[in-house]
Amino acid sequence: MNCLDQLRKAYILSWVGDREFVERTWRECRKELSEEGLRERVGKVLERADREWEIPSLLREEGIEGESLVREALGELLERLYRTTEEREVRRNEYVIYSVSDLGLKKVVRGYCERCYGYRSVNLEGGFGVRYEQMVYLETTGDADEALSTLLKDIFD
């Protein structure tokens, strides 16, 4: 998996609460997603620009391309995920990595399902469930695991 795909996955797993994966991505990808000295170079350009709207062409003149800036920003995003991801108790089964937050009456399930695709929404006991590509989200007053298998039924039958 390249670092961009891994970051996408880490972004969702950060929401699920899988801190371990976020940490691993951070270790493996932070070098690739940041460029030594880029921010200083950008800073110099900002100092040099008299008028704000000249900044874009001055950046290109200095050889700083849009893609490098985006990569740098994504590196910073990864740093932030690493610092801010809250660890939840993560459960795993054959298909899904997920966490269950118990809000008293309601339970909220957040999940990542590698092999899922497409979009599906269902009504659940006292709530609803939505699945979009690899992301799984549901709220229910009933049993969380049962609700999860209802939502994923069409894929893994």
Partner 1 sequence: MKLNVSWVEIPSEVIPHTNRDSDGDLDVIAVGVAEAFEREGVSEVVEIDPGKVVMAGILTSRMVEDPFLYLDSKRWGGKYFSGDVSASLAEVMAFALLEAKFGVKLTEVLPMRHVKYLGFTPDGVVDAKLYPKLISFLGGKGALYINTRGTMRWSPSWIIRNLRRDLIQVEKVRYPDAYAMLMYLVRERGWRMMVGVVKP
Nearer to partner 1, 8 or 24 (CB): 8
Q: Rounded CA gap, 79 and 103, in Å?
A: 29
Q: Rounded CA gap, 85 and 22, in Å?
A: 8
Minimum distance from residue 44 beta carbon to partner 1 (Å): 13
Binding site for partner 1 (CB under 8 A): 4, 7-8, 11-12, 15, 39, 42, 46, 51-57, 59-60, 66-67, 69-70, 72-74, 76-77, 80, 119, 121, 128, 130, 132-135, 137
Minimum distance from residue 56 beta carbon to partner 1 (Å): 4
Classify residue 30 as exposed, middle or buried by CB count within 10 Å of its CB (0-12, 13-18, 19+).
Answer: middle
Q: Rounded CA gap, 18 and 1, in Å?
A: 18
Nearer to partner 1, 74 or 100 (CB): 74
